[in-house]
Structure 1
Amino acid sequence: MHSRQPRVLVVTVVHDPEDARIRHRQIPALLAAGMRVTYAAPFAAFGRTPPPGVRGVDLPRAHGRDRLRAVRRARAVIARVGRSADVVLLHDPDLLLAAAGLGRGVGQIVWDVHEDTAAAIGMRQWVPPLLRRPLQWSVRLAERIAEARFSLLLAEHSYADRFRRAHPVVPNSNWVPDRPPPPPGSTRVVYLGSITVPRGGREMIAVARAARELDMVLIGPADATMRPELEAAQAAGELTWLGFVPNDEATRMLEGSLAGLALLHDQPNYARSLPTKLAEYMARGIPVVTTPNQSSAELVRASGGGVVVGFGDVEATVAALRELARDESQRRALARSGYRHVQAEVNWHRDGQEFARIIAGLAGAARR
Structure 2
Amino acid sequence: MNIIHISTVHPNNDTRIFEKECSGLASKDHEVTLIIQSDCDEIRNNVKIKALPRYSGRLSRITFGILRAARKAFSEKGDIYHLHDPELLPLGLLLRVSGRRVVYDMHENLPEQIRTKHWIHPLIRKPLAFFISFFERLSLNRMAVVMAEKSYADHYNWVKRGQVVLNLPTVDKLMQLASSTQKNSLLVGYIGSISQSRGLLTVIEAIRKIREDGIAAKFECIGNVSRDVSTSKAYQQGVNEGWIHSPGRMPPSQGWAMIARCHIGIALLKPIGNYIDSYPTKMFEYMAMGLPVVVSDFPLYRDVVERHQCGFCVDPNDIDTIAYVIRFFIENPQKSIEMGTRGQNAVRSYYCWNIELEKLIIFYQALLA
TM-score, with length taken from structure 1: 0.87
Change (3 A) 1:210 1:315: same
Residue 17 of structure 1 deviates from its aligned partner by: 2.7
1:342 maps onto 2:347 in alignment: yes
1:38 to 24, 33, 53: 33
Identify the residue that residue 320 of structure 2 maps to in structure 1: 315
Residue 55 of structure 1 deviates from its aligned partner by: 2.7
Identify the residue that residue 94 of structure 1 maps to in structure 2: 87
Identify the residue that residue 156 of structure 1 maps to in structure 2: 149
AA of the residue aligned to 1:196 = S
2:70 to 69, 78, 86: 78
Identify the residue that residue 13 of structure 2 maps to in structure 1: 18
1:219 maps onto 2:222 in alignment: yes
Give, in whole Å, the separation in 1 of the partners of 2:253 and 2:364.
Answer: 24
| Paired residues of 2:305 and 2:311 also in contact (CA < 8 A) | yes
CA RMSD between the two structures: 2.6
Identify the residue that residue 102 of structure 2 maps to in structure 1: 109
| Paired residues of 1:60 and 1:70 also in contact (CA < 8 A) | no
Change (3 A) 1:145 1:285: same
Identify the residue that residue 3 of structure 1 maps to in structure 2: none
Q: Deviations over 1:15-56 (max 9, x none)?
A: 333221112111111111222222222335xx9987443332
Identify the residue that residue 297 of structure 1 maps to in structure 2: 302
| Paired residues of 2:41 and 2:51 also in contact (CA < 8 A) | no
Identify the residue that residue 60 of structure 2 maps to in structure 1: 69
| Paired residues of 1:285 and 1:338 also in contact (CA < 8 A) | yes
Identify the residue that residue 139 of structure 1 maps to in structure 2: 132
AA of the residue aligned to 1:187 = L
Q: Deviations over 1:69-97 (max 9, x none)?
A: 22232244234423522221111112113
| Paired residues of 1:216 and 1:240 also in contact (CA < 8 A) | yes
1:9 maps onto 2:10 in alignment: no
Give, in whole Å, the separation in 2 of the partners of 1:307 and 1:317.
Answer: 9
AA of the residue aligned to 1:91 = H
Change (3 A) 1:120 1:288: same
Residue 301 of structure 1 deviates from its aligned partner by: 1.9
In structure 2, the residue corresponding to 1:119 is in which secondary structure?
A: helix
Change (3 A) 1:8 1:76: same
* Higher deviation after alignment, 48-57 or 203-212: 48-57
Change (3 A) 1:258 1:205: same
1:327 to 323, 332, 355: 332
Give, in whole Å, the separation in 1 of the partners of 2:361 and 2:55.
Answer: 27
AA of the residue aligned to 2:9 = V
1:205 maps onto 2:197 in alignment: no
Identify the residue that residue 351 of structure 1 maps to in structure 2: 356
1:174 maps onto 2:185 in alignment: no
Q: Deviations over 1:206-253 (max 9, x none)?
A: 233223311210112223443444565322313101212222333343
Give, in whole Å, the separation in 1 of the partners of 2:137 and 2:84.
Answer: 16
1:266 to 271, 274, 291: 271
In structure 1, the residue corresponding to 2:34 is in which secondary structure?
A: strand
Identify the residue that residue 248 of structure 1 maps to in structure 2: 253
In structure 2, the residue corresponding to 1:271 is in which secondary structure?
A: helix
AA of the residue aligned to 1:74 = I
In structure 1, the residue corresponding to 2:94 is in which secondary structure?
A: coil
Which structure 1 segments of 5+ residues have no match? 1-5
| Paired residues of 1:218 and 1:240 also in contact (CA < 8 A) | yes
1:130 to 115, 123, 127: 123
Give, in whole Å, the separation in 2 of the partners of 1:79 and 1:59.
Answer: 11
Identify the residue that residue 51 of structure 2 maps to in structure 1: 58
* Higher deviation after alignment, 113-122 or 205-214: 205-214
Higher helix fraction: Structure 1 or Structure 2?
Answer: 2
| Paired residues of 1:289 and 1:308 also in contact (CA < 8 A) | yes
* Higher deviation after alignment, 68-77 or 175-184: 175-184
Give, in whole Å, the separation in 1 of the partners of 2:116 and 2:42.
Answer: 30
Q: Deviations over 1:267-307 (max 9, x none)?
A: 02211000000000000000010112332222212221111
| Paired residues of 2:6 and 2:69 also in contact (CA < 8 A) | no
Which structure 2 segments of 5+ residues have no match? none
1:224-235 map, 5 Å: 224-229=227-232, 230=235, 233-235=238-240
TM-score, with length taken from structure 2: 0.87
